[in-house]
Chain A
Amino acid sequence: MTRYVLLRTAWAIPVLIIVTFLTFWAVKSATDPVASYLRTNPRATPEMVAEYEEIHGLVGSTPEQYVRWLGNFLTLNWGNSIKGNTPVWPDLKSALANSLVLGITASVIGITIGLGIGILSALRQYSKFDTLSTGAAFVGISIPPFVSAVLLQVFFAIAITSWLNLQSPFLPVAGIYPPGQTEFDLGLRIKHMILPVTVIAIQIIAVYSRYMRASLLDVKESDYMRTARSKGISEKRVVVKHALRNAFIPIITVAAIDFGAIVGGLIITERIFEYKGTGDYLLTALGNGDFPQVMPLMFIIVASVIFFNLLADVSYAWLDPRIRLG
């Protein structure tokens, strides 16, 4: 097992380098930092441009640039944004924190509910509950998140507010806090998170309920279930110790991978609800072609994905003795 882990970890590092290098090249091509610089500083002289290039290591071949950039990145020398010339790190830091709060909250709620529904559906296959939850899951999977986000916005900001004749929207639809609020207020924070969390949780519940249901149904058919029953143990023990124990293995690995995607994956919801997380940050930065803002985040995203993929592999090996010892 240790050998397996070490091998996978050793693999991960070159992969990280290669993928981040490709990302570097792609993002640079897609944002064209020099052009962006010229856009925000239209009166820059050629000397200023050359100086800019020099400072940001935009000289030499692409691999050279990458290495230089990597050096700066690892020494936390992240520079300033092109637009507004503000330090990159503070904004990115708060964006990361916001996204993590949103992502983890939605994941915890979503996965718990989703797994619960999935288990009940599998145990009561073909019942009304199963049919209804399957239908609901299909809707949850099929509805593009921006549609559900916008529809919820319209419903809660406009419809309910006018039905109940309220002065301000029933549920806030934008921002982390109402405009003007600068201090930390748990109540307001939660209130503003309700709708974004709901949108994300809908997707998570839909996907995980299907996964769990499928995995559990698969396991339920196994021969060892019959053997377990033949021992005369209680049905509850049969389900928990035998069925669930085996059914959870693929779920956990999927969950690990999903977690890795949180860092960069809430783009839609954040943009629509004007929630200042990494997704919103990324969209804005890409729209502005702001390379110094985009690239550190992209590196973090790639590193996070690779790390969690590794974690998923390791956890799968740990949970399934056939792989651990085979």
Chain B
Amino acid sequence: MTEPVLSVRDLHVSFPTEDGVVQAVRGISFDIAEHELMGIVGESGSGKSVAFLAVMGLLPKSAQISGSIRISGVEMVGQPEKEVRKVRGQQVAMIFQDPLTALNPVHRVGDQIVEMIQAHKKLTSDQAAARAVELLDLVGIPQAGTRARQYPHEFSGGMRQRAMIAMAIANDPDILIADEPTTALDTTVQAQILEVIQNVQHELGAAVAFITHDLGVVARIADRVQVMYAGRIAERGEAHDIFLRPTHPYTLGLLRSLPDANVARLVPIPGAPPNMLRPPSGCAFRVRCPHAEEVCAGVLPELRPYGAVETACVRVEEIMAGTPA
């Protein structure tokens, strides 16, 4: 068994703000294996984006990070910026949510890809420019040569996202982090971008961490799924196990609130995400959980195996026993 491409142990991230310290990530551990596409699911405030910004080392200097992050075996936490920069853009690359604001409006698209290439490889401008055109072609942008000389605002939303993907894969990274890449796009375009990402993953053999709040998207493409809530992991397992036999009340709630032709009424999860300045004691979800008891407030639930999945609910056995399948 080869070493995982990304290995995170006991990651904690907090930020000082005007109103106090926000605990965005409160102790998570996970691995992503080579070639694997892991879906990271959660609401706003679950810490899913912050965790991966920490992996990239893109959090503001005021952020407090503790734990271990190993990319292709290399430890990133506590490293000097110079060393981190070697890995960033080379072994790990990120695709961001809104390609319109994520691309520099005054630089040509081709030049932005060239910048990515030349940051890590010694190629001449011409060689790098040619490679950039190849990459744009790879992600399905027609007339790549002309397009490379254009500016971001001249591209459509879908094309911009393809360009971002082209930029991210420029140096053949071991793992690609996609932070809500389809959220800002129309549904028809979403499907196209998903296809591009899958193709790219296939061609390069990279692992992908696909961050989203959209379960439908995850169901289509993920190998494994990790559900996050309030800075911790609620449940984790193979995609079909999570979807067919969810065990954590939060996952159950998420699935129940999905539109489904067979269901008469949508059942939303009551309440709202917790305040990360002072998260509730014990299980953060207990405030909205229909199965919450005294015991849930007492201890911070850890991920443990239950059936085919791992789940972080202290009462999972009783809940599963009581509910119909």
Q: Which A residues are closer than 8 A to B by beta carbons?
A: 222-224, 226-235, 241-242, 245-246, 249, 319-322, 325-326
Contacts and interface: CB of A to CB of B under 8 A. Distances in A.
A223 B102 contact: yes
Sorted from nearest, which 8 A-B pairs have the closest CB atoms? A232-B89, A232-B88, A223-B101, A224-B104, A231-B89, A321-B151, A232-B85, A233-B119
Nearest to B84: A232
Given A224-B104, A230-B56, A249-B106, 13 more contacts: A224-B103, A224-B105, A226-B102, A227-B96, A229-B58, A231-B88, A232-B120, A233-B115, A235-B81, A319-B106, A320-B105, A321-B106, A325-B154
A249 B103 CA distance: 17
A230 B95 CA distance: 9
B98 A223 contact: yes
B245 interface: no
A9 B52 CA distance: 51
Contacts of A242: 104, 107
A322 B108 CA distance: 11
Nearest to B87: A232
B256 interface: no
A242 B115 CA distance: 11
Tell me the interface secondary structure of chain B in the complex.
mixed
B116 interface: yes
Interface of B: 56, 58, 81, 85-90, 93-94, 96, 98, 101-107, 115-116, 119-120, 151, 153-154, 164, 167
Nearest to B56: A230
B88 A230 contact: yes
A11 B133 CA distance: 42
B151 A322 contact: yes
A91 B107 CA distance: 49
Nearest to A224: B104
A235 B89 CA distance: 14
A190 B93 CA distance: 57
Contacts of A319: 106
A242 B103 CA distance: 10
A227 B104 CA distance: 9
A326 B86 CA distance: 37
B166 to A, nearest CB: 13
B102 to A, nearest CB: 5
A233 B102 CA distance: 16
Contact of B106 (A230, A245, A326): A245
Contacts of A227: 96, 102-104, 164
A227 B99 CA distance: 10
14 contacts: A224-B104, A224-B105, A226-B102, A227-B104, A229-B88, A230-B56, A230-B88, A230-B94, A234-B85, A245-B104, A246-B105, A325-B153, A325-B154, A326-B153
A321 B104 CA distance: 11
A13 B138 CA distance: 51
Contacts of B93: 230
B106 A232 contact: no
